[in-house]
A and B are shown apart, each in its own frame.
Chain A
Amino acid sequence: MIELDKVSYGYNGANLFSQLSLTLAPGSFRFLTGPSGAGKTTLLRLCYADLRATAGKVRLFGQDAAALDRDAVALARRRIGVVHQDCQFLDHLTMAENIALPLTVSDRVAEAGANLQELLNWVGLAPQAGQLPPELSGGERQRAALARAVIISPEIIIADEPTGNVDWEMSQRLLHLLIELNKMGKTILIATHDLAMIRSMKSEVSARVLRLKDGQLQQAGADL
């Protein structure tokens, strides 16, 4: 579904990583770990074509990402739900409107009604539907970001530190939501530095842990 083949990327002439390869197979569950500044967010952005690799190939659903025009990238992104670290909401829209945004921009706004209510209940945000993003807590925003990522039924869900701003209980709840989605056949890639959280999921999901360090991607120990 997403394949990074000997990909390099850097800022200001210096490579953040080089010759890095990663394959996300359908239905797989991957954790991406590594110290701050290792390039986890950059790697995720390459996966949803928000950045272009300086060398190597990124393939999205079998197509070379570098050869895709902006319209094709937009269509590919509708197949990838992303939970951004900073949530990326539009502050002038209500939470319900923000969550429905992927459907709205895909001219599928008619589908929003039933899906939206179900999702709001699922992430426990029904009472906050009419509130603006700045009025919500960090945990509520993270749950809303997850709801927005899945409302369009994407094939892949990429989450960047989805539990970064929440307490332990909320992080467990968010992870259970992602595990549930994986059981429904979605491919999941989560970037996190929270190893304790990964260990806590050991018994519930068969996931591989990838560690990004010094520009290299390594398998981090056995399966969870």
Chain B
Amino acid sequence: MKALLELIVGDPQADRAVPPTGQTARLTVFVAVVMAFLAVIALSVSLTTGRLAAIWADELAQSATLRLPANAETADALLEAAVDVLQTTPGVASARVLSPDEQQALLEPWFGPDLPVDALPIPQLVEIVTEDGYEAEGLRARLSAQVPGAVLDDHTAWRAPLLQAASRVRLIGWSTILLIGATVAAMITLAAQASLAANAQVIRVLRLVGARDVYIARAFVRRHTIRAGVGAAAGAILGVIAVILMPEGDGQTSILLGVGFEGAEWLWPVLIPPLSAIVAFFATRAAALRTLRSMT
């Protein structure tokens, strides 16, 4: 960290001792811009997926559905018994019987709008809102005793694959960011090595007048670190603009709507330039010292 601070404060003389190399400089900045842009996009997708999965999982975890057998003769009695059980079950905040219109709306995507719900033996659904202390297995046992044929769906079957899918998407997102970081490190290393090779005579002169390897490395490290930081800042700004220009949505229904950052998440794109500079600092330092060791 001390070395990084010294680097930021800088020694312009050390920097001037090595002549600028235009082509390498432009390539380093270009790579930093592109990588930072991609990192912002990957971050926004990853964070949005995580947020969306959390909302969905939370909603599913706080609700359950009770399905009563479609038997016209016993329907009312079963419904009454079921509501009684639910109202006396700890952890059940409320139980609401779905109306025929709501049930029809649920079936409409599959059977169309003209389905005669009244004429068909469709199970009655009860929406249950749960809170802390809700215990699904205990409720199932009571329902099987008092409401024969009732099926309690606590949404576990829906939630698990959803959480798994969201977790995978987030993993892919973070892996992408790590790969971007590794690519930046590799590109900076190559640029630093090319720069050192192009300045072999300068390095020889510096050594002849008593320069230590760490001094020579400092000039290259400072230069590449600043380029990576400045390039990443430009790339992060472009990435944020791209994210802001994405179509807006409620952030709950689809990942395609509402991709972006919320609240403290905005710190991530701000962190990308300094993180890029840190990656460049260590990559260049390692490459420079290794290359200088091999130069006799």
Name A residues whose Cβ lies closer than 8 Å to a Cβ of B: 48, 50, 70-71, 74-75, 77-78, 82, 84, 88-90, 92-93, 97, 101-102, 104-107, 109, 148, 152
A84 to B11, CA, bound (A): 27
Q: What B residues does A70 contact at CB under 8 A?
A: 207, 212-213, 292-293
- Cβ-defined contact, B210 with A74, below 8 A: yes
A179 to B134, CA, bound (A): 99
Tier of interface size on chain B: 20 to 34
A107 to B204, CA, bound (A): 18
**Chain A-chain B contacts (Cβ-Cβ < 8 Å), number:** 59
- Cβ-defined contact, B16 with A77, below 8 A: no
Closest to B214 in A: A71
A222 to B293, CA, bound (A): 46
What distance in Å separates the Cβ of A102 from its nearest Cβ neighbour in chain B? 4
What distance in Å separates the Cβ of A162 from its nearest Cβ neighbour in chain B? 15
Query: Quick one: which of A92, A97, A105 contacts B210, CB cutoff 8 A?
Result: A105
Query: Quick one: which of B13, B202, B208 contacts A104, CB cutoff 8 A?
Result: B13
Q: What A residues does B204 contact at CB under 8 A?
A: 88
- Cβ-defined contact, A77 with B210, below 8 A: yes
Interface presence of B157 (CB below 8 A): no
User: A90-B202, A109-B13 known; A101 and B209 CB under 8 Å?
Assistant: yes
Q: What B residues does A89 contact at CB under 8 A?
A: 205
A197 to B215, CA, bound (A): 39
- Cβ-defined contact, A106 with B210, below 8 A: yes
A207 to B123, CA, bound (A): 117
- Cβ-defined contact, A90 with B17, below 8 A: yes
What distance in Å separates the Cβ of A87 from its nearest Cβ neighbour in chain B? 10
- Cβ-defined contact, B202 with A105, below 8 A: no
